[in-house]
Amino acid sequence: LGDSGVGKTALVVKFVDDGFKNDKTSTIGIDFKTKMLFMRGKRVKLQIWDTAGQERHQTITQQYYRSAMGIVLCYDVTSEASFQNIKRWNEQIEMHGSKDVQRILVGNK
pLDDT of 103 > 80? The answer is yes
Could you give all domains of the chain from N- to C-terminal order, each with its CATH number? 8-108 (3.40.50.300)
pLDDT tens sequence across 44-89:
999 988 877 555 545 556 677 788 899 999 999 999 999 999 999 9
> How far is 80 from 78, CA to CA, in rounded Å?
7
> Mean of the pLDDT values across residues 33-37?
91
Residue 46: count other Cβ atoms within 10 Å of its Cβ: 14
Q: What is the pLDDT of residue 57?
A: 45
Q: What is the residue type of 45?
A: K
> Mean of the pLDDT values across residues 93-105?
91
> How far is 36 from 53, CA to CA, in rounded Å?
26
Residue 92: count other Cβ atoms within 10 Å of its Cβ: 15
pLDDT of 19 > 90? The answer is no
Whether this model's pTM surpasses 0.85:
no
pLDDT tens sequence across 2-17:
998 899 888 988 899 8
3-class DSSP assignment, residue 74: strand
Burial of residue 51, with CB atoms counted within 10 A of its CB: 0-12 exposed, 13-18 middle, 19 or more buried = buried
> Which residue did the predictor score with more confidence, 94 or 61?
94
